[in-house]
Amino acid sequence: MSLSRSDIDKIAYLARLELTEAEIPAYVDSLSRIIDFVGELESAQTAGIEPMAHPLPGLAQRLRADEVLETDRHEHYQRNAPQVEGGLYLVPKVIE
């Protein structure tokens, strides 16, 4: 199976990645090959086999006590933020 340029455009959009014109043909090629490669899985006999989401079987989610253990550290955390104002993270205007 081969992916087309428009497939790559769609995937890149869904993944919010801008690709340069130079990058696109290389991704069309390599993603097509990867998808072909993982297509080998089709041959496996998996009828009645449960999908395995976790590597250790039989474990259950542990529950945390409902306690507030945090203090306000937003200024510290926002040192890594590209753009903040009045404690808010800023992004270009969102239109709904």
Partner 1 sequence: MATAIATDVEWETVIGLEIHAQLATRSKIFSSSATAYGAAPNTQANLVDLGYPGVLPVLNAEAVRMALKFGLAIGARIERRSVFARKNYFYPDLPKGYQISQYELPIVAQGSLDVVLDDGTRKRIGITRAHLEEDAGKSLHEGLPGVTGIDLNRAGTPLIEIVSEPDMRSAKEAVAYMKKVHTLVRYLEICDGNMQEGSFRCDANVSVRPRGQQKFGTRAEIKNLNSFRFVEKAINYEIERQIELIESGGQVVQETRLYDPDKGETRSMRSKEEANDYRYFPDPDLLPVVIEDALLETVRASLPELPDQKAARFASQYGLSEYDAGVLTASREMGAFYEEVVTRVGGKDAKLCANWVMGDFSALLNRDNLELALAKVDAAGLAGLITRIVDSTISGKIAKEVFEAMWDEGTSADAIIEARGLRQITDTGAIEQAIDAVMAKNPGQLADYRSGKDKLFGFFVGQVMKATGGKANPAQLNELLKKKLAG
Partner 2 sequence: MSALPIHRRTLTGLAKGLKRREFSSVEVTRSYLGRIAASQPDLNAFITVTGEAALAAAAVADARLASGQAGPLTGVPLAHKDIFCTEGVLTTCGSKMLANFVSPYDATLVARLRDAGTVMLGKVNMDEFAMGSSNETSHFGPVRNPWNTAMVPGGSSGGSAAAVAARIAPAATATDTGGSIRQPAALCGVTGIKPTYGRVSRYGMIAFASSLDQGGLITLSAEDAALLLGAIAGFDPRDSTSVDTPVPDYTATLGDSLEGLRIGLVRQFFDKGLDARCEAQIRAALAVYEKLGARLVEVDCPNLPLSVPTYYVVAPAECSSNLARFDGVRFGHRCADPKNLIDLYRRSRGEGFGAEVKRRIMTGTYVLSAGYYDAYYLKAQRVRQLISRDFAQAFTQADVLVGPTSPVPAFPLGSKTADPITMYLNDIYTIGANLAGLPGMSIPCGFVEGLPVGLQIVGPHFSEARMLNAAHRYQTETDWHLQLPAAYA
Q: Which residues bind partner 1 (CB under 8 A)?
A: 13-14, 16, 53-54, 59-70, 72-74, 77-78, 85-96
Distances (CA, A) of 65 to 62, 69, 82, 91: 10, 11, 34, 35
CA distance 95 to 90: 14
Which of partner 2, partner 1, none does 22 bind, CB closer than 5 to 8 A by kind?
none
Residue 16 · residue 39 · CB < 8 Å: no
Residues that bind partner 2 (CB under 8 A): 3, 7-8, 11-20, 23, 26-27, 30-31, 33-35, 37-42, 44, 46, 49-57, 59, 61-62, 64, 73, 76-83, 89, 91-94
